[in-house]
């Protein structure tokens, strides 16, 4: 079965425990359940991961990119957390392995502090979902699925 990957960066394991005014009260386990329902409805398997380590996220991006090349994965929905605004390494990993990524943010980063307005990920993402809360995750999965189907049409 073809897989869709959902990667979450630092501190997203705290989702639902603090800052509900910014991130809502849904836990990361609830987000995983939302994603699984969406993926299964599209006939996809779900690989859902979270890490507080930049290097581990780089490794998962490489692994996902290789799976896409092998035709076993359609790409990744990626909430890089605060690494969005700092990480050249994550930018280079996505670009280097040519992983189709939909960048996702739960909050509307453009309405927040100026340091959240710049993303190192957006220039190497196929698209972004921003500020729609946790319901952005299933939308992003759906978008990746559409994009992968469109790619298959142009490839044949």
Spacing of C-alpha 38 from chain mean position:
14
Comparison of 51 and 79: residue with beta carbon closer to ligand CA2: 79
Q: Which of residues 112-141 bind ligand CA2 (CB under 6 A)?
A: 116
Comparison of 12 and 76: residue with beta carbon closer to ligand CA2: 12
For residues 121 and 107, give the distance between their C-alpha atoms in angstroms, rounded to a whole number. Answer: 16
Give how far Cα 144 sits from Cα of 15, 17, 46, 114, 135, Å.
24, 29, 13, 29, 15
Comparison of 24 and 151: residue with beta carbon closer to ligand CA2: 24
Cβ-proximal residues to 39 (8 Å cutoff; 6+ apart), any chain = 4, 45, 46, 141
What are the residue numbers of the active site? 23, 105
Among 51, 105, 121, 140, binds ligand CA2 (CB under 6 A): 105
Which spans of this chain sit near ligand CA2 (rule: CB under 6 A)? 11-12, 14-15, 18-19, 23, 79, 81-82, 84, 105-107, 109, 116
């Amino acid at each position: 079965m073809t897989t869709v990957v959902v990667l979450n960066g630092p501190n997203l394991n705290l989702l639902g425990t603090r800052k509900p005014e910014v991130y809502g009260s849904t836990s990361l386990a609830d987000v995983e359940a939302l994603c699984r329902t969406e993926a299964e409805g599209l006939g996809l398997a779900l690989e859902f991961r979270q890490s507080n380590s930049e290097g581990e996220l780089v490794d998962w991006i490489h692994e996902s990119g290789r799976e896409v090349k092998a035709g076993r994965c359609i790409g990744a929905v990626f909430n890089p957390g605060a690494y969005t605004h700092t990480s050249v390494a994550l930018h280079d990993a996505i670009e280097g392995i040519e992983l189709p990524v939909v960048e996702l943010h739960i909050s509307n980063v453009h309405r927040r502090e100026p340091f959240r307005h710049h993303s190192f990920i957006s220039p190497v993402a196929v698209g972004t979902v921003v500020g729609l809360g946790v319901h952005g995750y299933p939308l992003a999965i759906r978008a990746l699925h559409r994009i992968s189907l469109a790619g298959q049409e142009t490839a044949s």
